[in-house]
Structure 1
Amino acid sequence: MRVDLQPAYILHTRPYRDTSLLIDFLTPDFGRVTAVARGVRKNKTPKRQLLNPFSRLLVCWQGKTDMKLLTSFESDNHFLSLTANHLYSGFYLNELLVRLLPEMDGHNGLYFAYEQSLNALQNKDDIEPLLREFEFRLLTELGYGLDFGADVRNDCTIEAQEFYECHIQEGFFRAGAEVPEQFLLKGEWLLAIAAGDYSDPATRLAAKYLSRRLLKPLLGSRPLNSRQLFVSVKHD
């Protein structure tokens, strides 16, 4: 299999053998792809600098196995410069994709959602809403998304003044009287998330709680390096 001039964002690189790099990149047609870039660590040329996270390239590769060979790459003339918390947030998005997105599983919409998120980080947009939007989009693409506007057990829409429980495999349903208040979600928060409205601090907290709860079974017990980096820098 040979693929030519596929748009791709670099997600992660790591050394491979003495002079090569193993690269994860995100493409619109093939999803996440892992390929070897032979010899790039021994050639200190300007082109080597293209192989950094958040670079958008046009790439060519060949091979059918897990170990594909990057045969050529060139700049797509789209450059990003993320800084401070927006940079760490970009690393977080990349780590989610590397950890959760199966290789060679195309998600065209997810590629453009990622690109939109990076552009928002470049513009220094409010971080919390854009991270939640991407997390929920990723969960939906992976088949684990929930309908924030539906009461799944009562076959009706969420009502703003009611309180709801969440089952991560089913969705939301009206809470029973015996459920402790700290485990309840107000309908207006769920409806705001469904509408992409994170202006209310309570909605933001609910969205963060839900995203972490939904992602936890998929990520397992291994902590996210990007989250630990953000915490360590925040406390320096």
Structure 2
Amino acid sequence: MAAKRVIDEPAYVLHSYDWSESSLILEVFTRHRGRVALAANGAKKPTSNFRPVLLPLQPLRLTYTLGAEGNAEIHSLKGAEWVGGHVMPTGEALLSGLYLNELLLRLMARDDPYAALFDVYGGVVRVLAGTQGEALEPVLRAFELVLLRELGLLPSLGEETMTLSALEARSRYMLVPEGGLRQAAAGERAALTGAQWQALEQALGSANTPTASVYTATLRAAAPVALALKSQLRTLLQYHCGSPLLRTRQLMMDLQNL
């Protein structure tokens, strides 16, 4: 029986690692099938058509066959085409894109589709290609919020998590891994006001709101509080990723200490 083939699947390479002297295993984020592992035979050879195409943060269309009628953990890559549309991000933007890739690798199970999240990710990657410096912060914070909400890992930002009490507009609150949203203690400088958390919750929208629109609204709401959100979201994401520390985050910290 011929193996089932997936044709021209929109995808991004999240990570690759050596499989043999000439081949790679790819972890890719596909639009219709979620995170998928593919064997790229001969991809490391100088003459391989795969070699210049299988790059991270670049929009691709992949063709592959499903091993064991789709039940295998690793499938076989048969074709890859660069879709084009933007250049590779550089500098801080490149590192930020690799950070997003690592989040997706650590948080998404294989073969669990997130088409709307895929579209948001593609839009963010296009933005990263032309963004540097402090302008990156709201872009990353908005994606982190949308990612957490899409994966069911973000509590409601319109109420205290433990008491289900409505937030007071002028009171200050913190988002913590095991307690959700709670009133801030004295000295917790990263806390946001209830009004700011409510604005983020409203931007994240309902289940019926298109995710692309949600991201745009969340980006606007996150921009004024991006720096205050940074430590809270990074702590929450690391909690759900488990140990060890995200490699891209450690690299960022090392570069800041140079």
Structure 2 length-normalised TM: 0.79
Partners of 2:130 and 2:112 lie apart in 1 by 29
Q: State the partner residue of 2:212.
A: none
Identify the match of residue 182 of structure 1 among 169, 173, 188. 188
How far is the alpha carbon of 1:19 from its aligned partner?
0.9
AA matched with 2:245: P
Alpha-carbon distance in structure 2 between the residues aligned to 1:103 and 1:70: 16
1:150 is aligned to 2:172:
no
Question: Which residue of the partner structure matches residue 69 of structure 1?
Answer: 76
Once the 2 structures are TM-superposed, how far is the Cα of residue 164 of structure 1 from its aligned partner? 3.1
* SS of equivalent to 2:149: helix
How far 1:159 moved relative to its partner?
2.5
Shift of 1:140: 1.4
Displacement after TM superposition at 1:91 (Å): 0.7
Task: Name the CA distance, whole Å, in 2 between partners of 1:135 and 1:109.
Answer: 14
Moved more, 20-29 or 149-158: 149-158
Residue of structure 2 equivalent to 1:33: 36
**1-side partners of 2:223 and 2:56: how far apart?**
30
- Give me the CA root mean square deviation: 2.4
User: 1:11, 1:25 within 8 Å by CA — same for their partners in 2?
Assistant: yes
Deviation, 1:199, is 4.3
Q: Indicate yes or no: 2:24 matched with 1:18.
A: no
Q: Deviations over 1:130-174 (max 9, x none)?
A: 111111111112211122223445555423212335454664355
* 2:256 is equivalent to residue 207 of structure 1: no
CA distance in 2, matches of 1:166, 1:234: 25
- Larger strand percent: 1
The residue matched to 2:84 in structure 1 has which SS?
strand
Counterpart selection for 1:172 from 171, 181, 188: 181
Q: 2:170 maps to what in 1?
A: 161
Structure 2 residue identity aligned to 1:38 = N
Contact 2:173-2:181 at 8 Å conserved across structures: yes
- How far did 1:47 drift? 4.2
Cα offset, 1:116, TM superposition: 1.3
Q: Are the equivalent residues in 1 in contact too, given 2:45–2:51 (CA < 8 A)?
A: no
In the alignment, is the contact (CA less than 8 A) between 1:189 and 1:206 conserved in 2?
no
2:86–2:126: 8 Å Cα contact kept in structure 1?
Answer: no
Q: Distance in 1 between matches of 2:107 and 2:145?
A: 13
Q: CA deviation at 1:206?
A: 3.1
How many residues align? The count is: 231
Are the aligned partners of 1:144 and 1:169 in contact in 2 as well (CA < 8 Å)? Answer: no
Q: Is the 8 A contact 2:32 2:115 kept in 1?
A: yes
Structure 2 matches for 1:56-135, cutoff 5 A?
Answer: 56-62=59-65, 63=67, 64=70, 65-124=72-131, 126-135=135-144
Residue 224 (structure 1) aligns with: 246
**Unmatched runs of 5 consecutive residues or more in structure 1:** none
Extract unaligned runs of 5+ from structure 2.
Answer: 204-217
Q: Percent identity?
A: 31
- How far residue 44 of structure 1 moved from its aligned partner, in angstroms, is 3.0
TM-score (norm 1): 0.86
